[in-house]
Amino acid sequence: MSDKAIVVNNVRKTFKLNTSGAASIKTALLWWKRRKYQTLDVLRGVSFEVGHGECVAVVGRNGAGKSTLLGLLARIYRPDSGTIQINGRVAPLLELGAGFHPDLSGAENIIFNAVILGLTRAEAIRRTPEIVAFSELGDQVYAPVRTYSSGMVARLGFAIAVHVDADILIVDEVLSVGDFEFQRKSFGKIEEFRNKGGTILLVSHHAEAMRKIADRCVWIQHGEVHMEGTPDEILPAYLAKSESDLRGSPPGPVKIEGPDLGSA
Amino acid sequence: MLAELKELWSFRELLYTMVQRDIRIRYKNSILGFFWSFLNPLATTLVMTVVFGKLLNNDVKNYSAYILSAYLPYVFFQSSVLDSSQSILSSIQLVKKIYFPRELLPLSLVISNFIHLLLGFFVFFLLLLLNYLINPGQIPFRLTTIYLPILLVISFMLSLGMSLLISALNTFYEDVKFVMSVALYLLLFLCPVMYFIENIADNPAVLRHPLWFKLYNLNPVADLCVAYRKILLAPTDVAISGSIAKAHPMPLPWMWVAYSAVFSFLVLIFGYSVFNRLKWRFVERT
């Protein structure tokens, strides 16, 4: 099956919601009496494929299950049922600079993050100058990360992720980092990655950007694949639907977003 | 479990980086750096030597060496488990964003504690040498020191197994950490660190009820403390409370070493399988 970069087959994911907050033995014992928690079916049988060198954009409203899907592809979650096959090395850009340690310098964090993403130490050390140059941090890279601005952290995170020779990039709304100039540069880097035959799966709300780089769109609604096709087919339909949702009945009770559960 | 071990092997570069990072962070903001890792064992040994050696007049030559030889492995176990208990939670932001084998978090902490243990033994031998140079007498180093690697391997398995178990459980129930910090503190009294095993074995009260001694020996950390002390230092007579004659040192009980080896191995297997069962749920913790 290695003719495809990503094969997602009938994947389901349900989250259990614990309404009481604290994780403690006390809560567990209280639950014992009336064990009830809400479940949330975030993904209900999603299937799609991404070929090598393809760029697929996933669209959908907040809470449709996009970020959960990306989390599954990045192996942060395991599906409850169904299978996910990935052929190639994945660099997930889910949250830039998530793994940085504030007390270590940018340079030390480069090594650590690059090794997590699959480089060897030697390779990571060799790449460092290139990464530093791309991130435009200059000598600041020797200062502890806690002294960085959020833009600097994001720039460094992005620079690392695109320099680890991944085969597949998984991108979650991170193309809007840094100032205009840096955005242009990171966009260029993504396109360069594509031209070299890399596979990209991205989530974005930025229609213009998706039209520019995506070959195909997958529209996810209520945890299922609603439509699949070229950006020109999907995006107008998706935008029209979003607009009619907005104009139509006032938004009902706010749905809890799947991807944010963990951090809540 | 085999598949997991194979994957772990493929992440060995990351493990190396994590251990290095951990050691660096620990001493990043302190001037004396690595010295602090010896401060705790040395200060503890000093106080125990004063109290038990001088004030309680326990007439044993080189008392502090006997304490340090058992305190180092005890502290290794204690701090490995305590450090790892928080390891998943303190890196939860990383765990939520990037995949890597989760067991690397406790494993890297156990390894960096193990490095401290090795350095601790290095200082221990240095102190023995220093003491010998100041008061020459019997050569303090013993041939049985060659067994040290065996004991180190057992200690490592035990600490790692416990650390995996505790770190996984503490991720869901943070009470575990508090229970463990009390339990590990009490463990110090249940190990022959500030006293000798002969104090217990030859105590008339214990001799009348041998079951107590058997129970005492079920604790693998205590057995290991005895073994470390016996292989590293010369046997010494010990004064026993409630009896006039001093107790002669007992030989190294290899049976206990074998018991603690088997026990530690089982703890490791059990701890790792519990960890593997729970590790996918770490991110979904509510």
Name the residue among A23, A78, A103 with its Cβ closest to that of B173.
Answer: A23
Among A87-96, B21-30, B187-196, the least confident range = B21-30
pLDDT band at B25 (very low <50, low <70, confident <90, very high): confident
Return the pLDDT at B29: 61
Give the residue from chain B lying closest to A89, CA to CA. B99
Name the residue among B21, B95, B96 with its Cβ closest to that of A112.
Answer: B21
Return the pLDDT at A257: 46
**CB proximity A244 to B under 8 Å:** no
DSSP state string for A22-72: --SHHHHHHHHHS---EEEEEEEEEEEEEETT-EEEEE--TTSSHHHHHHH
Beta-carbon separation of B17 and A261 below 8 A: no
Residue to test with chain B: of A42, A76, A128, most B Cβ within 10 A: A76
Minimal CA separation from B82 to chain A, in Å: 18
Return the pLDDT at B80: 96
Q: What is the DSSP letter of A257?
A: P
Are B38 and B120 in contact, with CB atoms under 8 Å apart?
A: yes
Which residue, chain included where needed, has tokens 């326990």? B58
Rounded average pLDDT over B200-210: 86
What distance in Å separates the CA atoms of residue A180 and residue B135, rounded to the nearest whole number?
74
Return the pLDDT at A182: 79
CATH, domain A1-15+42-88+168-173+198-264, list 3.30.470.20, 3.40.50.720, 3.40.50.300, 3.40.50.10130: 3.40.50.300
pLDDT band at B107 (very low <50, low <70, confident <90, very high): very high
Give the residue from chain B lying closest to A114, CA to CA. B14
Domain containing residue B209: 2-23+33-284
DSSP state string for B186-209: HHGGGSTTSS-HHHHHT-HHHHH-
Which residue, chain included where needed, has tokens 């009481």? A20
Name the residue among B14, B93, B97 with its Cβ closest to that of A115.
Answer: B14
Are B190 and B216 in contact, with CB atoms under 8 Å apart?
A: yes
Neighbours of A64 (CB within 10 A): 25
Are A170 and A203 in contact, with CB atoms under 8 Å apart?
A: no
Read off the tokens for A87: 């052929």
Are B98 and A99 in contact, with CB atoms under 8 Å apart?
A: yes
What distance in Å separates the CA atoms of residue B243 and residue A123, rounded to the nearest whole number?
67
Say if B163 falls within a structural domain.
Answer: yes
Say if B28 falls within a structural domain.
Answer: no
Stretch 100-129 of chain A: residues touching chain B, C-beta under 8 Å: 101, 103-104, 108, 111-112, 115-117, 119-121
Return the pLDDT at A242: 79
Chain B positions touching A121 (Cβ under 8 A) are 13, 16-17
Name the residue among B16, B29, B175 with its Cβ closest to that of A121.
Answer: B16
What distance in Å separates the CA atoms of residue B9 and residue B27, rounded to the nearest whole number?
28
Instruction: Select from A175, A162, A255 the least CA-distant residue to A210.
Output: A175
Count the domains in chain B: 1
Higher pLDDT residue, B21 or B118?
Answer: B118
Return the pLDDT at A39: 79
Neighbours of B62 (CB within 10 A): 20
Say if B146 falls within a structural domain.
Answer: yes
What distance in Å separates the CA atoms of residue A259 and residue A66, rounded to the nearest whole number?
8
Rounded average pLDDT over B148-161: 97
Say if B155 falls within a structural domain.
Answer: yes
Among A190-194, A209-213, B73-77, B122-126, the least confident range = A209-213
Helices (H), chain B: 2-10, 12-28, 35-48, 63-85, 87-90, 92-97, 104-134, 148-172, 175-187, 197-201, 204-208, 210-217, 220-232, 254-278
Return the pLDDT at B104: 95
**CB proximity A62 to B under 8 Å:** no
Whether the complex's predicted ipTM is more than 0.85 is answered with no
Rounded average pLDDT over B235-247: 76
Say if B50 falls within a structural domain.
Answer: yes
**Kind and range of the H or E run holding B238:** strand B238-239
Rounded average pLDDT over B189-212: 88
Return the pLDDT at A28: 65
Read off the tokens for B195: 């006293």
Return the pLDDT at A130: 93
Read off the tokens for B234: 């010369």
What does DSSP say about strands A4-17 and A38-51: parallel, antiparallel, or unpaired?
antiparallel
Say if B167 falls within a structural domain.
Answer: yes
Is the sign of the CA dihedral B159, B165, B168, B173 positive or negative?
negative
How do the pLDDT tens digits run along chain A, 264 residues long? 468 889 999 999 988 776 555 556 666 666 655 555 677 888 888 999 999 989 998 988 887 888 888 889 888 889 999 999 999 888 887 777 777 888 888 998 999 899 988 889 999 999 999 999 998 888 999 999 999 988 888 889 888 988 988 899 888 776 666 677 878 888 888 888 888 888 999 887 777 778 888 889 998 888 888 888 888 888 888 888 878 877 765 555 544 444 444 433
Rounded average pLDDT over B81-96: 90
**CB proximity A256 to B under 8 Å:** no
Higher pLDDT residue, B270 or A236?
Answer: B270
pLDDT band at B139 (very low <50, low <70, confident <90, very high): confident
